[in-house]
Structure 1
Amino acid sequence: MSQQVRAVVARSKGAPVSLETIVVPDPGPGEAVVRIEACGVCHTDLHYREGGISDDFPFLLGHEAAGVVEAVGDGVTDVAPGDFVILNWRAVCGQCRACLRGRPWYCFNTHNAEQRMTLTDGTELSPALGIGAFAEKTLVAAGQCTKVDRRASAAAAGLLGCGVMAGIGAALNTGSVGRGDSVAVIGCGGVGAAAVLGSKLAGAARIIAVDIDDRKLDTARRLGATHTVNSKESDAVDAVRDLTGGFGADVVIEAVGRPETYRQAFYARDLAGTVVLVGVPTPEMKLELPLLDVFGRGGTLKSSWYGDCLPSRDFPMLIDLYLQGRLDLDAFVTETIALDEVEKAFERMHNGDVLRSVVLL
């Protein structure tokens, strides 16, 4: 039978979110119902509320989540009721050209649940990133559930569902940061801070954190940055070059998503170095670079989508490192809040007061 649960819904563009009763159907073939234990408040949820992703209102918000599988539909074999899982928005299909070439982290046909959750009047909801986890329970494709060690804190584990994985993956997977490398991270919010942590995990010798907010730079230093640059006070490109013998960093990770910070990343890298764009630009943004500089500087310009992660590979490995005390995911949990405090959390996030507010259910 379907269930009625509490959830956070964005009904119209720019309007405050509301706590609503929604209907969660029984899982169909290939689907799972998950009882949510924790869900982080991500900028992407705010983008949905502001209509920056689509106008398919009403949205069921929330996607950085961990919880316990309650029920599965026909044909589901990878997870079972009682499994502790992290939800992901890269449920790979296994059949597209990327998957068949052995690159499932680029899957071009990721899938979501076929059925829709609804309001009690039957209005269909659009779940954020195909998840919708600011809810006591949610319906997802079973492939969006990745089983991990139950000993992990749900508040910390759930953050791998989006921002923290995006940052760590930008360093480990996309940027291929290696032992002894120099790395600069431009923008040290949640994703950039995670990129600092990923660079430390990879063994980078020099990690330069760049931001305009000293609070974020302090956090980056705690997570492994060896140097910090406040780009309000000094030129970011000159500072990175000064800290790397005049050459620039081997890998520069741009975690802001703006043309001006991308240009900084481009010129702050060493010759033949790598730029990784993990910050998300808005549709109207344009980038201008001298084509001769693109040619002459060589190297690699990459974008990183979800940290080029493969959840079935990366989530269990990172949770194991967390349980070993080698990956401080708890550092990203600034505060825990109730389901009806999401709107206030958006304001704190917008003001840069938190790395992550996490809803506990």
Structure 2
Amino acid sequence: MAQQVRGVIAPGKGEPVRIETITIPDPGPGEAVVQVQACGVCHTDLHYREGGINDEFPFLLGHEAAGIVESVGAGVTEVAPGDFVILNWRAVCGQCRACTRGRPWYCFNTHNAERKMTLADGTELSPALGIGAFADKTLVAAGQCTKVDPAASPAAAGLLGCGVMAGIGAAINTGNVGRGDSVAVIGCGGVGSAAVLGARLAGAAKIIAIDLDERKLAAASGLGATHTVNAKDTDVAEAVQKLTGGFGADVVIEAVGRPETYKQAFYARDLAGTVVLVGVPTPEMKLELPLLDVFGRGGSLKSSWYGDCLPSRDFPMLIDLYLQGRLDLDAFVSETIPLDGVEAAFEKMHHGDVLRSVVVL
């Protein structure tokens, strides 16, 4: 039977978010209703509010979430009512050319719930990244639910649903950081700081955190950075080369998503090194590089989609590391807030005051 719950809605481009009553339908085949326990406030939610993703308003915001499966539709076998799950926005299909070649983390046919959540008047909502978890409950495809150990804190676990996984995965999965490598991370917000943590997990010997904000550099140091560079008054490529014997880093992770910082990453890497772009550019941005430099320096230029993660593989492993005390997810939770605190959290995020504000329900 359909339920009515609270949800945070972005009604129109640039308008402040507000709490509305939303209707959650019963789950259809392959779907699940999840009682949300916690959901991080991510830059992507702000992009939705500003119309930077698309114009399919109104949006039901929120996607970095963990909670309890309440009910499932026909044919669902991967999760059951009562399971503690992290929500993800790339439910793999298992049948596309990437999946059938054994590369499901590149799935080209990810899917979401087909039934629609609505406002009380019947207006259909567009859930952020197919999730919409700034709500007491949400409807998702069952494949968007990954069962993990319920001993984990929902506020920390939910962050694997987007930003933290993107950063850790950029280092471990996309960048293939190995023991003894040197790594530079440009941009130390939530994703970049997670990339620092991922590089440490992978055994990097030198991890150079780069940002304009000393607060973020201090946080990156706490997560495993061995050196910091304030880019405000320093040539980034020169600084990284100086810290790596004049060569450059083996892996440089660009977590900003701007042409200027991508060029810094390109020239801060060693010959035959790897650049990983995990920061998300805007549509109008263009990159210009001498083609001879691209050829002559060799190596790899990669883009990291969601940290090239496979939720069913990576989420349980990372939660196990968290529960063993080897992965400090709690360090990313700057504050916990109620459902009506999202608009204020956007402002704090804009000013760089937090790594993550987390809505706790």
Identify the TM-score tier after normalising by the shorter chain.
Answer: over 0.9
Residue 176 of structure 2: SS of its match in structure 1? coil
Residue 6 of structure 1: SS of its match in structure 2? strand
What TM-score results when the alignment is normalised by the length of structure 2? 1.00
Residue 220 of structure 2: SS of its match in structure 1? helix
After superposition, give the CA deviation of every residue in 1:56-93 in whole Å (9 maximum; x if it has no partner). 00000000000000000000001000000000001000
The CA distance in 1 between the partners of 2:108 and 2:234, in whole Å, is 41
After superposition, give the CA deviation of every residue in 1:171-220 in whole Å (9 maximum; x if it has no partner). 00000000000000000000000000000000000000000000000000
After superposition, give the CA deviation of every residue in 1:290-316 in whole Å (9 maximum; x if it has no partner). 000000000000000100000000000
The CA distance in 2 between the partners of 1:229 and 1:198, in whole Å, is 19
Residue 325 of structure 2: SS of its match in structure 1? coil
1:356 aligned onto 2:332: no
The CA distance in 1 between the partners of 2:213 and 2:325, in whole Å, is 28
- In the other structure, the counterpart of 1:185 is 185
Q: Which amino acid aligns with 2:280?
A: V
The CA distance in 2 between the partners of 1:233 and 1:290, in whole Å, is 25
- In the other structure, the counterpart of 1:208 is 208
- In the other structure, the counterpart of 2:113 is 113
Residue 166 of structure 2: SS of its match in structure 1? helix
Q: Which amino acid aligns with 1:103?
A: R
The CA distance in 1 between the partners of 2:18 and 2:266, in whole Å, is 42
The CA distance in 2 between the partners of 1:238 and 1:88, in whole Å, is 38
- In the other structure, the counterpart of 1:72 is 72
- In the other structure, the counterpart of 1:221 is 221
The CA distance in 2 between the partners of 1:50 and 1:287, in whole Å, is 24
After superposition, give the CA deviation of every residue in 1:133-189 in whole Å (9 maximum; x if it has no partner). 000000000000000000000000000000000000000000000000000000000
- In the other structure, the counterpart of 1:5 is 5
- In the other structure, the counterpart of 1:239 is 239
The CA distance in 2 between the partners of 1:298 and 1:2, in whole Å, is 56
What pairs up with 1:269-348 in 2 under 5 angstroms? 269-348=269-348
- In the other structure, the counterpart of 2:58 is 58
Q: Which amino acid aligns with 1:149?
A: D
1:85 aligned onto 2:74: no
The CA distance in 2 between the partners of 1:21 and 1:204, in whole Å, is 48
The CA distance in 2 between the partners of 1:234 and 1:121, in whole Å, is 55
Residue 219 of structure 1: SS of its match in structure 2? helix
The CA distance in 2 between the partners of 1:104 and 1:243, in whole Å, is 37
What TM-score results when the alignment is normalised by the length of structure 1? 1.00
1:151 aligned onto 2:151: yes
- In the other structure, the counterpart of 2:24 is 24
Q: Which amino acid aligns with 1:245?
A: G
- In the other structure, the counterpart of 1:40 is 40
Deviation at 1:34, TM superposition (A): 0.0
The CA distance in 1 between the partners of 2:305 and 2:356, in whole Å, is 20
Deviation at 1:94, TM superposition (A): 0.2
Deviation at 1:234, TM superposition (A): 1.1
Deviation at 1:233, TM superposition (A): 2.0
* Structure 1 stretches of at least 4 aligned residues deviating more than 4 Å after TM superposition: none
The CA distance in 1 between the partners of 2:152 and 2:283, in whole Å, is 37
The CA distance in 1 between the partners of 2:7 and 2:352, in whole Å, is 25
Q: Which amino acid aligns with 1:241?
A: Q
User: Aligned residues, how many?
Assistant: 361
**Structure 2 unpaired stretches of 5+:** none
The CA distance in 1 between the partners of 2:234 and 2:288, in whole Å, is 23
The CA distance in 2 between the partners of 1:28 and 1:232, in whole Å, is 52
After superposition, give the CA deviation of every residue in 1:250-291 in whole Å (9 maximum; x if it has no partner). 000000000000000000000000000000000000000000
- In the other structure, the counterpart of 2:197 is 197
The CA distance in 2 between the partners of 1:340 and 1:217, in whole Å, is 30
The CA distance in 2 between the partners of 1:142 and 1:240, in whole Å, is 44
Deviation at 1:339, TM superposition (A): 0.1
Residue 256 of structure 2: SS of its match in structure 1? coil
The CA distance in 2 between the partners of 1:224 and 1:21, in whole Å, is 43
Q: Which amino acid aligns with 1:253?
A: I
The CA distance in 2 between the partners of 1:273 and 1:183, in whole Å, is 10
Residue 225 of structure 1: SS of its match in structure 2? coil
- In the other structure, the counterpart of 2:101 is 101
- In the other structure, the counterpart of 1:262 is 262
**Structure 1 unpaired stretches of 5+:** none
The RMSD of aligned alpha carbons is: 0.2
Q: Which amino acid aligns with 2:306?
A: Y
